[in-house]
A = this chain, B = another copy of it.
Amino acid sequence: MFPDFSDMSEYNIASLSRLIEQFERLPGIGHKTASRLAYYILSLSDEEAARFSDAIDDAHKKIHYCKQCGNYTDKELCPICSDPNRDRSIVCVVEGPRDVIALEKTESFNVLYHVLHGVISPMNGITPDMIRIKELLARLSEGNIKEVIMATNATVEGEATSMYISKLIKPFGVKVTRLAYGIPVGGDLEYADEVTLSLSIEGRREI
């Protein structure tokens, strides 16, 4: 239990409040955790604090989107796009850079990626032109790509985005696939939801 600082205006130090506010903007960090982290920053030595703020500046300055796939990189092309051993005829479309890492960890995927940096979400004011869809169409128009694997999240918005993009891709005449739905490995049938279960029945394979 940490004390709540929100109404401690008497003891508020402007620069401390601002630091707490900044930590509070981070995903999954509430007010109490933010104030705990801010106090921790104060307890650091000058060098350690400078190292922290420099790491933020440095990462933000050096890291940008890969010119081709949109993944984060500090070079012009990311290591995947510049890897000569990749199958350049398949492009896997994902929502974010961390999805690339998740898929790469399977070690069963030797394709190129396309990072959308978001999903279409009218509720949150994200329209199709705000994510990297036109960059994907530009890549397709070059004519080397034979298959596009849609690997957006299995959420309503991920699905909608996937459907929207599939329709745009159709005219290019490339194959469009998406990742299989089913019971997760190690998962209990008993606890699987009906939708997942019926999709895993629908997608059953001969053994």
A interface residues with partner B (beta carbon < 8 Å)? 2-5, 8, 10-11, 13-16, 18-19, 21-22, 25-29, 33, 35-44, 46, 48-63, 72-74, 78-80, 96-98, 100-102, 104-105, 117
Cβ–Cβ contact A62 & B15, under 8 A: yes
Contact of A49 among B3, B8, B60 (CB under 8 A): B60
Cβ–Cβ contact B101 & A55, under 8 A: no
Complex CA gap A98/B55 in Å reads 27
Contact of A11 among B13, B22, B101 (CB under 8 A): B101
Residue of A51, A60, A97 with most partner-chain B CB within 10 A? A60
Cβ–Cβ contact A55 & B22, under 8 A: yes
Write out the residue numbers on chain B whose beta carbons fall within 8 Å of the beta carbon of A2: 98
Complex CA gap A3/B102 in Å reads 5
Q: How many copies does the complex hold?
A: 2
Known: A14-B74, A16-B72, A26-B37. 14 other contacts (CB 8 A): A11-B104, A13-B59, A15-B58, A16-B63, A21-B55, A22-B52, A22-B55, A22-B56, A41-B59, A42-B60, A42-B72, A52-B53, A52-B56, A53-B54
Complex CA gap A173/B152 in Å reads 71
Contact of A63 among B15, B25, B102 (CB under 8 A): B15
Cβ–Cβ contact B15 & A38, under 8 A: no
Question: Chain B nearest CB: distance from A102 CB in Å?
Answer: 4
Complex CA gap A3/B55 in Å reads 22
Write out the residue numbers on chain B whose beta carbons fall within 8 Å of the beta carbon of A13: 59, 62-63, 72-74
Can you name 6 A-B pairs with beta carbons within 8 Å?
A11-B80, A16-B63, A19-B55, A22-B56, A41-B59, A52-B53
Contact of A79 among B3, B10, B18, B80 (CB under 8 A): B10
